Amino acid sequence: MNTQTSLTDMIADSLELRDGIWYGEKGLYWSNLSREDNQSYIRELPQLGAKATLRKYFPQHEEVIFSPKRMGGVATLDLRPEDRILDAGCMWGALTVPLAYTGAQVVGIDQTEESLKFLAQRKAEEGLENLTLINADLKKIALRAGSFDKIVLNGVLEWIPEVENVEVNQFTTRRPGLWESLRRLRQRPPGHQSPREEQVRFLKKIAGALKDDGVLYLAIENRYDIYYFLGQKEPHCGIRFFSFLPHGLQNLVSLLLRGREFRNWTYSEGGLRSLLRDAGFTNVDVLYGFPGYHFPELVLQKEGMRFFRSAAMAQSPSRIKKAVKKIVSHTVFGIFKARALAPAFIVHARKI
Amino acid sequence: MINIIRNYLHKSQCQTGIALTEEGRPRTVVRTTFSREGADILRAEMEYLRWYARQVADETFLNDMQVHVRDCYGKCQFPYHEGETGDYYRPLHLNAGKIAAVVRHYGKIFADDEAPVHGDFSLGNIIFKGDDVSWIIDWENANRCMPRCYDLIYLITENCLFCRLTGTRIADEDTAAYRRLYREISDKYEIPAQVADGPGQWCSDVVRRYMEKTGIDHSKCPFIAVEGKIIREVDEILKRNGLP
């Protein structure tokens, strides 16, 4: 799909095409890299190509962008070449490019222009004419009703309520200092919508953009992942023993340690079902991703927990941690099938 | 819904999923890939699987098999076969009945000149009903490059290797069983002389040559992944007592 006419079937906004990317209203920055780092490699992209550029500048990100294991959850969908698929928050195309391989018409929207420039290079190298890239604010872009067969939100929903630019490393480690934290505590910003309200509003938009028989694919961390109780850092703020605190206490801790309110809400399975129901998704199937949804070894429905194997969770450079993970996961998931404590949810949500 | 039970495991180029019935029983196996290499492998794998289904005259399997493979994407599904796979951690003499059944099944089904080599002919890839072979799974490494006797030599030697790895002693009963099975195999297939120097090392050499010839990564094969010293130990035991 490479014409303005086809795009306007799906996007109501007026977009401008430049260098293979359609541009709409700008949103916040979100990346694993700082803007400076992102800018550093873009100039060499056309000469070296996507993979070679990444290997030269940021080899540590090669796996997260190119590993086919990223598609472990998406493979549970019934993908068809006649589908229209929206990858909302597509970033560097870890899922977008493999989705385009299926022959489907794929639209990738991301708020960070630099990420899309990298993805545009991949698109050109692979000759993916069925892929369209849009740089726009996910919360503001107008999607036409009933446009998509599938919409993918892979690690995106918890970032929707975010009000700051995000460079992930800095965002999850920054310590503003005690005085700055106390000052922010006294000067809390005026109430905007709660994170849950923002997520429901966004999901309603997504529901509207889906065809009646369309499917939302949603991947998100479990607020009550067993490993949070064992000291694993919450990935959106980098704080231990944080995820399962009440939201008010989360805000206090986050203001003190990170200088900001905590808005990257995740949920229990029940909380997630309730959120989706409020957004108009009445038919929800939940699968569980082990050891998570980024590089899942296993993606199992409730009846599929018999296929759980603890080796899937035993990944760590430390032999002791590996052994502990194996024992804990075998007990919690292998014996007790305690899905409520699974690391991540992978959801297929339908309106009817 | 599809449960993903293997996501590009052991350097495989594909994912394996299982779709369940409403009662929660496995109904269909789904193999998916999102890469060019994976699509080539999946295409070949489905041809070999189709060949096997024709050999065992499983019309239901052939009718229900669905194969969709493009340049860089493939999704194939086929019926799930119920049953228990073999246990290669169990001492060889306790597996001898099952392995003898496998040798008979192999001799019958893989008899013609067009027959491929399975390439990963492990007890863990054979489904049994009692001691009888019900089905053979995991055809991702099937090929027509390896020697015809490779599968069966691999089968009996791998059982000994895994016992050694778990600290189970390869006892006299095991080497006696190995000797009997080896004779059965040699009655049906010409076994190269190098096997007598060490079946484990021979399997390792076959896989290395296969990887060099095809460029396919088979480095998770136990005879490549396991330390050479352990393979040599197993070979010494088998040469002393297990080989005719």
A80 CB within 8 Å of a chain B CB:
no
Mutate to test the interface with B, among A67, A97, A307, A310 (most CBs of B within 10 A): A307
For chain B, the domains span 2-79, 84-242
Tell me the pLDDT band of B169, cut-offs 50, 70 and 90: confident
* pLDDT for the residue B243: 79
- Rounded to whole angstroms, the Cα distance separating A266 from A248 reads 14
With CB atoms and an 8 Å threshold, state whether A71 touches B15. yes
With CB atoms and an 8 Å threshold, state whether B70 touches A296. no
HEC secondary structure over chain B? CEEEEEECHHHCCCEEEEEECCCCCEEEEEEEECCHHHHHHHHHHHHHHHHHHHHCCCHHHHHHCEEEECCCCEEEEEECCCCEECCCCCCHHHHHHHHHHHHHHHHHHCCCCCCCECCCCCHHHEEEECCEEEEECCCCCCECCCCCCHHHHHHHHHHHHHHHHCCCCCCHHHHHHHHHHHHHHHHHCCCCHHHHHCHHHHHHHHHHHHHHHHCCCCCCCHHHHCCHHHHHHHHHHHHHHHCC
Q: Looking at beta carbons, which residues of chain A come within 8 Å of B35?
A: 68
* pLDDT for the residue A188: 58
With CB atoms and an 8 Å threshold, state whether B4 touches A303. no
pLDDT in tens, B115-163: 999 999 999 999 999 889 999 999 999 999 999 899 999 999 999 999 9
Chain B residues with CB within 8 Å of chain A CB: 1-9, 13, 15, 17-18, 20, 24, 30, 32-35, 38, 70-73, 75
Mutate to test the interface with A, among B3, B76, B217 (most CBs of A within 10 A): B3
* pLDDT for the residue B160: 94
pLDDT in tens, A66-94: 999 999 999 999 999 999 999 999 999 99
Q: Looking at beta carbons, which residues of chain A come within 8 Å of B73?
A: 98, 101-103
With CB atoms and an 8 Å threshold, state whether A75 touches B38. no
Of B7, B72, B75, the CB nearest to A297: B7
**Residue ranges of chain A with per-residue pLDDT less than 50:** 1-4
Q: Looking at beta carbons, which residues of chain A come within 8 Å of B9?
A: 297
A300 CB within 8 Å of a chain B CB:
yes
With vertex at residue B126, the alpha carbon angle to CA B120 and CA B129, rounded to the nearest 5 degrees, is 175
Question: Which segment of A23-37, B47-61, B194-208 scores lowest on mean pLDDT?
Answer: A23-37
Q: In CATH terms, is domain A4-308+340-350 a member of 3.40.50.150?
A: yes
Of B33, B35, B70, the CB nearest to A103: B70
With CB atoms and an 8 Å threshold, state whether A76 touches B2. yes
Kindly provide the ipTM of the predicted complex, given to two decimals: 0.89
* pLDDT for the residue A1: 46
For chain A, the domains span 4-308+340-350
CATH of domain B2-79: 3.30.200
